[in-house]
Structure 1
Amino acid sequence: MKGARRHPAGAGRQRAREGCRLGPRGAFSGADEKPRRRIEGIEERRRGKRAGRDGGGMPENSRALPRNVRALGAVSLANDTASDMIAPLLPAFVTGVLGLSPAFLGAIEGVAESTASLLKLVAGWYSDRLRRRKAFALAGYALSNLVRPLIGLAGAGWHVLALRFGDRVGKGIRTSPRDALLADAVGPEQRGRAFGFQRALDNVGAAVGPLLAAALLLVFPQNLRLVFLLSVVPGIAALIILATQVREERPERARKGVEPGVAKSRSGLTPAAGGDGGPGLPGTTSAPADARRSAASPLRGGVPRGALRVYLSAVLLFTLGNSSDAFLALRAQDLGLPLALLPIAWMLLSLVRALTAVPGGRLSDRIGRRPAILAGWFVYALAYAGFAMASEAWQV
């Protein structure tokens, strides 16, 4: 129309920006609420899509666990299926097939577990320093799953010792980087649940493995070597899942302190500090304090050195009093449990762990880590006292 007033291109967008000026804390102010809500909605959708692609952070109120958590749980399931096809039968193999003493079995397990414990600290430190957590986890899983089945070819005690040493070296290399991948995938409010989920699938695998071993022993009676060699199949499955399904944040994003899964959008707006969902200043990065702390060394992060020393001392005392599960299998065999039923007993133990892992993780989110750990250690002490006093196989 002739008398109509023509607005220059982009004038509407300019007015929207003028009505939504940022306040001193990065919050919107102004009379017009629609542009603010529209921009916030766009940013929320973009953050959600990015989190789904990267397998990283997720909205606080979401109940779905990220892709990385699910994938790492599947890796643990397959790996423990392979591991626990061997674990309940190893004492019988060492003392029965190879004719070695229980003391030698204890030496094997002591060397193996000590190696794993020392390497967890070293591998965790290097994976933080190099920002290559997936590479460390993949190397550790590969070493364990290629070395472990070779126990089926062992003809002497030192063969088993060397192969168990290699298996535990792999465990030491992978455990801390894998746990770091898990912790990076979720916010603090979901970490107990995420770790509980991973531990639950870990223990499901520890139940499936003995079940497969028992089935194979029914088909091939007393052929422990064949069972050990066939454990390579689920082990290879674990490597494939880890290599193809787990994603790692780019090192430069982690160094900048950006919470996993939350990247700067194309509009240049990022979430405001404090996690209130409002946009921050254009072209800047505002990350929660938890994300900045996660990039720091755990020995210098949010845990005071004194408290960390007390915790590590308590863990050391608990570990000294905690025997290898191999001796539980040996104890059951001494009380008359048949060889074919050893994997079934091991499976029941793993099922109990699997059923309590997720509730235990959620409980630690609610009541705190310290009370949950103390309760677990107390139950553990009662159980070991029961093992010592058991007089029949069914009691074990």
Structure 2
Amino acid sequence: MWVLGFVSLLMDISSEMIHSLLPLFMVGTLGASAVAVGLIEGLAESTALVVKVFSGALSDYLGKRKGLAVFGYALGALTKPLFAVAPTTGVVLAARLLDRVGKGVRGAPRDALVADLAPAAVRGAAFGLRQSLDTVGAVLGPLLAVGLMLWWANDFRAVFWVAVIPGLLAVALLQWGVDEPARHVGEKRTNPIRRENLRRLGGAYWWVVAVGAVFTLARFSEAFLVLRAEQSGIAVALVPLVMVAMNVVYAASAYPFGQLSDRMNHKVLLALGLLVLIAADVVLALGGHWTTVLAGVALWGIHMGMTQGLLATMVADTAPAELRGTAFGVFNLVSGFAMLVASVVAGLLWDRLGASFTFYAGAAFSALALLGLLKKP
């Protein structure tokens, strides 16, 4: 579990070093428009969502997770030099698509591998640990990028070359640091996405998928946290530190709450997580001062720590072992599309009714999800 966690940490450092600077690089260095930036990011994330389903199903069919995860991490690492040498936005688009294909390939098999390796009694702690270390990488990557930009006088390409190193280290660590459980002898291969296999996932699993989607509708893109921070009067140069603060809280809380989920009723913990999200939305809706915004962002991070590893644990618990890859792929796909819808709606509300109404709407969706928890699957 620790090795898988550090693999995620290293790859997140590599990816966030680039992603935290990429919009500025495309606009300032390559002369891209904001529309082009949005199109590239939208195409990239949509690609990752679709690939996740097929990679998860393929890992179930093969009975092997590690090989696909290694391939996905390797593809992500090998795209990093393309960003460093990119002369046009077309090359950046190709690099982003390949990078997100890598993320899609590795995501569901890696989560299924965590579930395969972790004893059921500590599965929540295992997912919490991996998520916590992954989020530490999301904190360290932007900080390292900012430090190198200051040191090298805003040399984007030099920073992108440095990002190759942790990416390759992640691949090496996964390849030689993790042993995959052997496939059971005599197990028959079947297509995991055939109708009869999807039926085997059962009502409890689909209830988790539905709750996860409503959770995501309630928790739209974190880009709106950055916009709210900018409105509060925080200096533009310091606004990215708001996301660093959120990820620090997220990283610090994910593992303890993962441990707690092994000893506590999952529905109760999900309900508490929703109450924290409602509190975060209300604070962000009311707050105009930077200290209030920071408090809301911290509550948001606690909510993430309480719920993200827990939802992954619930997917693992409700899906048959031989269909876990498919289960995680479908869960990620549905949640990803819910995030897309939520972010579009949040943007419309922001433009037409203001920031406060956007966060009040998030609180309302959270309350809806809380009501959904009252119905037993």
TM-score for the superposition, normalised by structure 1: 0.63
Alignment correspondent of 1:372? 269
* 1:77, distance to aligned residue in structure 2 (A): 1.3
Instruction: Give the alignment partner of residue 93 of structure 2, picking from 138, 161, 164.
Output: 161
How far is 1:177 from its partner?
0.9
Would the alpha carbon gap of residues 107 and 132 (structure 1) be closer, same or farther in structure 2, given more than 3 Å must change?
A: same
Corresponding residue of 2:83: 151
Secondary structure, in 3 states, of the residue corresponding to 1:121? helix
Unpaired segments ≥5 residues, structure 1: 1-68, 257-296
Q: Indicate the structure (1 or 2) with the bigger Cα radius of gyration.
A: 1
Q: C-alpha separation between the residues in 2 aligned to 1:356 and 1:201? A: 11
Which residue is 2:5 aligned to?
73
Change in CA separation of 1:340 and 1:107 when aligned onto 2, cut-off 3 Å: same
Change (3 A) 1:219 1:389: farther
- Residue aligning to 1:348: 245
Question: Using a 3 Å threshold, how does the CA distance of structure 1 residues 220 and 335 change in structure 2: closer, same or farther?
Answer: farther
How far did 1:205 drift?
1.4
Question: What's the offset of the Cα at 1:351?
Answer: 1.1
Asked whether 1:86 is paired with 2:9, we answer no
Amino acid corresponding to residue 211 of structure 1 in structure 2: L
**Structure 2: how far apart are the matches of 1:116 and 1:104?**
19
- Give structure 2 stretches of 5+ with no counterpart: 189-195, 295-377
User: Could you tell me how far 1:158 is from its partner in structure 2?
Assistant: 3.5
2:179 & 2:186 partners in 1: Cα distance?
Answer: 13
- In structure 2, C-alpha distance between the alignment counterparts of 1:389 and 1:91, rounded to whole Å: 30
1:152-198 Cα distance to aligned partner (Å, 9 max, x none): 33344443333222111111110111111111112211100111111
CA distance in structure 1 between the partners assigned to 2:159 and 2:20 by the alignment = 11
AA of the residue aligned to 1:373? L
d(CA) in 1 for partners of 2:286, 2:124:
34
Correspondence 1:307 to 2:204: yes
Q: Deviation digits for residues 225-251 of structure 1, max 9, x if unmatched?
A: 322221111111101100111111222
Deviations 1:99-137 (Å, cap 9, x if unpaired)?
444444333333222222222221111101102211000
Which residue pairs with 2:113 in the alignment? 181
C-alpha RMSD of the superposition: 3.1
What TM-score do you get using the length of structure 2 for normalisation?
0.66
1:22-45 Cα distance to aligned partner (Å, 9 max, x none): xxxxxxxxxxxxxxxxxxxxxxxx
CA shift in 2, pair 1:351/1:168, >3 Å: same
Number of residue equivalences: 286
Distance 2:182 2:99 in 1: 29
CA distance in 1 between partners of 2:262 and 2:75 (Å): 34
Percent of pairs with identical residues: 42
* Residues 246 and 91 of structure 1: CA distance in aligned 2, closer, same or farther (over 3 Å): same
**What corresponds to 1:316 in structure 2?**
213
Q: For 1:45-78, what per-residue CA distance to the aligned partner results, in whole angstroms no more than 9, with x for missing partners?
A: xxxxxxxxxxxxxxxxxxxxxxxx1211111111
Output aligned runs, 1:112-131, within 5 Å: 112-131=44-63
